[in-house]
Structure 1
Amino acid sequence: MKLLLRRPQQSDIQALHQFFFHVIQDTYAKEGIAELVDDQQHEWELKKKYVAMDLESRGEKRFFWLAVDEESNKIIGTIECGEANEIIQQTIKEDLSYCPEIGTVFVHPDYQNRGIATLLVQKILTTLEKQKKSSFCLDSGYKQAQIIWQKKFGQPDFILEHFWGTNNHHMIWKRALPFQL
């Protein structure tokens, strides 16, 4: 498989919306929370809003990278960065204007465990360094993602215990740049 990392284009909107919907549904099913349909809808609407913000602001408000399978021209992964979300801001309680959040790290279920997310994370870290950012943050309430992030970024700086219900914690990482995976 030949992989292309590129910025989104207006012509990608429909495919991105479908991609987000599919990955969110799959993630919720794997997490055992597929019944949370309203939460899935909210997550989907937020991701659609973020990609629209990227395109409208030319990467100033949100900034995406896409992983595309060159043979099929299919979007198989995404990552973005932008202003830290409300949970992160309320937890860290400091000025995070210099510290963008990395998010929307999605890989199509058929392409997971092939290093695509790692390539996307490396690409966004390089992007942030070129933008002269001094740090970044990220968060996750998904148990499977938390395992991956702990392997890549170490122990979280903040654990919001039982945030999503009994034994369903929310984790937040804040790291200085440059950062080596």
Structure 2
Amino acid sequence: MDVLNFRALEQSDVKSLQRLFMESLSDLIRRERFEDADLLDEEVARLNTTIQDHFDDDQVQLYVVEQEGILIGAGALLPPNDIISGNLEIKRGAIELGSVYVLPRMQRQGVGHFLLEEMKREILARKQHVFYLDAGFPSAQAYWRKQLGEPLLTLDHYWGPGAPHMIWEVNIK
């Protein structure tokens, strides 16, 4: 694999990041065979809000992975979302590792693992050692189980019959 560069999102990256999110989500929804017509629009809107928050809110930091000048992955460190904070007792100042996406053509090549390791370094640099992560898509749940082990909490039937939502609490010390 060519050299990967991990860095904070810059304003000049926004259009490329929006394309990365759209391509990744479209592929994910197609592979997962989701029928919900609004799901793509809702997820893209949520991610666009995260992009804006990166520039407006000190608690939200978006990072990108680029290879040869092309954005191929992204992830955010932010306050835990409502699903996490509504189902777990979390400490004040807790961090969620979220909005993790890798271009479909770059998946299964170590980009996600690289991104995860770099994000862990960022968390430790903030003098934190615990982060939360949640996943609703089955393929994301399988990936995170492989990377992080079993979730702390599984919310059975969260998205409907047989469709759980999973939450991890990860100590990286």
The answer to whether TM tops 0.5 is yes
The offset of 1:37, in angstroms, is 2.5
Q: TM-score, normalised by structure 1?
A: 0.90
Instruction: Tell me which amino acid in the other structure corresponds to 2:157.
Output: H
Q: Does 1:170 align with 2:168?
A: no
Corresponding residue for 2:70? 74
Instruction: Tell me which amino acid in the other structure corresponds to 1:17.
Output: Q
Stretches of 4+ aligned residues off by more than 4 angstroms: none
Cα distance per residue 1:24-65 (max 9 Å; x no partner): 1111111110x32212111111111111111233xx221121
Instruction: Give the fraction of aligned pairs with identical amino acids, expressed as a percent.
Output: 27
The offset of 1:102, in angstroms, is 0.5
**Structure 1 unmatched ranges of 5 or more:** none
Q: Distance in 2 between matches of 1:130 and 1:39?
A: 35
Alignment partner of 2:81 out of 62, 78, 85: 85
The offset of 1:170, in angstroms, is 0.4
Instruction: Tell me which amino acid in the other structure corresponds to 2:48.
Output: K
Q: TM-score, normalised by structure 2?
A: 0.94
Question: SS at the partner of 1:37?
Answer: coil
Q: Distance in 1 between matches of 2:170 and 2:93?
A: 12
Cα distance per residue 1:68-104 (max 9 Å; x no partner): 111xx21110011101010111110x24333211111
The size of the alignment, in residue pairs, is 172
**Structure 2 unmatched ranges of 5 or more:** none
Q: Distance in 2 between matches of 1:101 and 1:124?
A: 11
Alignment of 1:79-158 (within 5 A): 79-92=75-88, 94-158=89-153
